[in-house]
Amino acid sequence: MAEIGAGNVTLRVDYGNSSEAWWQALWQRLETEPGKVPEALRRLVHPRSNDAIEVSLAEARAALDWAAALPGWAGGPRHAPNPLRLEPGR
């Protein structure tokens, strides 16, 4: 993967990680506490996102920090350890 700089990045669903526990926890939070879910994650799960969105690096890091606190975040396979990943922006 190319180095990620300080500009925009792509936050993407990583289908190589199939953590059902994490997705269930995210959907539960979206239903019960939607205002506490970072905007980037709300945008990412929107049907029109195509499972990837462009965000600032700061917004992506905040979303990933929040996401990592949900059960099931870590422990995926070596090629996809987490349900989401960052890529360099387009």
pLDDT digits (tens, 9 = 90+) for 37-57: 999 999 999 988 899 999 999
Q: Is the pLDDT at 3 greater than 60, yes or no? A: no
Beta bridge partners of 65: none
Going by C-alpha positions, the residue among 79, 77, 23 that lies closest to residue 51 is: 23
User: What residue numbers bound the domain in which 36 lies?
Assistant: 16-88
pLDDT computed for residue 30 by the predictor: 96
pLDDT computed for residue 2 by the predictor: 44
3 is a domain residue: no
Going by C-alpha positions, the residue among 82, 63, 70, 76 that lies closest to residue 28 is: 70
8 is a domain residue: no
- In the chain, the number of structural domains is 1
